[in-house]
Amino acid sequence: MAEILLSLTIIGVVAAITLPSLTGNINERTWNTQRKALYARFSQAIALMPALNGYGTVTQNESGSITADNATETFITAGLAKVLKINNICDSEHLPDCGFPDKITKLDNSGVVSLIPKTLYEFNNLFEEANHSTFHATFVNVVNTKAAAFETANGESILVYYNLACTNNKNSYHYAQGNMCANFVYDLNGRKGPNTVGKDIGFISAIYPSDSVVVAPMPAVRDAGNSLHANLGKICTLQNSAYRAPNLEELMAIFYNRILMGALQANYPSNTVTKDGRWIVNVSIGLCFLYSAASDYVRCVQR
């Protein structure tokens, strides 16, 4: 009997050690599969829309406060809902009603985003030209709008930030903000948890109103650091086979979603380079410009 009890104890200890790891691996694979499927659906849906800008209207008073705004909801109802299966739509005052959690753990586990931002400016204050002298009207074309949310037929909760005045600015010197048409923060399983960026929480950005580019980068927690241009293509994969260097639109999407990154943002170098070394994105203000140097910093993304 003693030997049986000892054996059962050993089995229990081993199970207690290995089960969380096995469960975590299963969850990671499930989230990864769901993430790829959601991205595929959004890519197909956006491609079917003739243009992403111009939906709805926004009215502001003399002080700049929004008095009427149906832009994001109209973008969902008159645009996305025609090409994507949507079950429920929530306005900015009822975002949690679409299953979105009010607390999200940041990518680096440094803390939580405790309130769901209700407008585009609140989500990323660097969209607000008036507060930043580095902006110039020639390069930035952004209209503040109220957020909205919806639930998909597959059970995902999607939070939407929309710029109805987005442009196709691909000049050699431009700000990323004006090119963002729609930014989606998704939760693959609603409030079930863990409600953590990089697991069940992520983001998808639709950039440029026509011939739109849809990206869903998942930044790596570890920074690749400075590298010679000749090594840019492999610096990320050398530290992890699942990592790669981002393209321009992926870097812009990371900039848009800086609120979800955590302390990683403070560790970013002032400039981050794309995988081919052509484009530099200033991650402090969103400035994109063509530049060539002997070496640059790289922020890796996961496949």
pLDDT of residue 209: 96
Residues 197 and 239 placed together within one structural domain of the fold: no
Residue 16 lies in a domain: no
Its domain, for residue 167, covers 28-216
Residues 162 and 49 in one domain: yes
Measured between alpha carbons, how far is 269 from 93 in angstroms, rounded to an integer? 36
DSSP for 29-65, written as a single string: HHHHHHHHHHHHHHHHHHHHSS-SS--S-EEE-TTS-
Residue ranges of E strands in 193-275: 201-207, 213-215, 218-219, 225-228, 243-244, 271-273
Q: Give a yes or no: residue 187 inside a domain.
A: yes
Residues 124 and 267 in one domain: no
Maximum alpha-carbon separation in the chain: 84
pTM for the model stands at 0.86
Question: Mind listing the pLDDT tens digit for each residue in 81-121?
Answer: 999 999 999 999 999 999 988 889 998 888 888 778 999 98
Q: What is the pLDDT of residue 262?
A: 78
From 216, 236, 260, the end of a domain falls on 216
Residue 232 and residue 119 share a domain: no
Model confidence pLDDT, tens digit, residues 126-157: 787 644 445 554 456 788 899 999 999 899 99
| Radius of gyration of the chain from its Cα atoms, rounded to whole angstroms | 21
- Same-domain pairing of 38 and 178: yes
Average per-residue pLDDT for the chain = 82
CATH number, domain containing residue 281: 3.10.40
pLDDT at 22 over 50: no
| pLDDT tens digits for range 9-18 | 666 555 455 5
Per-residue pLDDT, 130: 47
Residue 18 forms part of a structural domain: no
Answer whether residue 7 is part of any domain.
no
Q: Which amino acid is at 215?
A: V
Task: Answer whether residue 76 is part of any domain.
Answer: yes
Domain count for the chain: 2
Beta bridge partners of 289: 173, 280
Cβ atoms of 253 and 217 within 8 Å: the answer is: yes
Same domain (yes/no): 42, 189: yes
For the stretch 248-301, pLDDT in tens is 999 899 989 988 987 665 455 566 777 777 888 887 788 888 876 656 677 888
Same domain, 42 and 70: yes
Same domain, 250 and 269: yes
Q: State residue 266's pLDDT score.
A: 45
> Within this chain, do residues 211 and 102 fall inside the same structural domain, yes or no?
yes
Q: pLDDT digit string (tens) for 39-65?
A: 999 999 999 999 999 999 988 777 666
User: Can you give the pLDDT at residue 286?
Assistant: 86
Averaged pLDDT, 149-173: 92
Residue 93 lies in a domain: yes
pLDDT at 19 over 50: no
Give domain status of residue 10, yes or no. Answer: no
pLDDT value at position 89?
Answer: 96
Residue 234 has pLDDT above 70, yes or no: yes
Name the domain boundary from 158, 181, 216: 216
Sign of CA dihedral 27, 30, 36, 38: negative
* Burial (CB count within 10 angstroms: exposed 0-12, middle 13-18, buried 19+), residue 25: exposed
Residue 247 falls inside a structural domain: yes
Q: Write the burial class of residue 244 (CB in 10 Å: 0-12 exposed, 13-18 middle, 19+ buried).
A: buried
Other beta carbons within 10 angstroms of residue 63's beta carbon come to 6
| Domain stop point among 187, 216, 245 | 216
Rounded to whole angstroms, what are the CA distances from 207 to 43, 142, 148, 170, 198?
A: 11, 13, 18, 11, 21
245, exposed or middle or buried, with CB in 10 Å at 0-12, 13-18, 19+? buried
Residue 234 shares a structural domain with residue 206: no
Is residue 291 helix, strand or coil? coil
Whether 230 has a pLDDT exceeding 70, the answer reads no
Please tell me whether residues 195 and 286 are part of one structural domain: no
Residue 149 sits in the same domain as residue 281: no
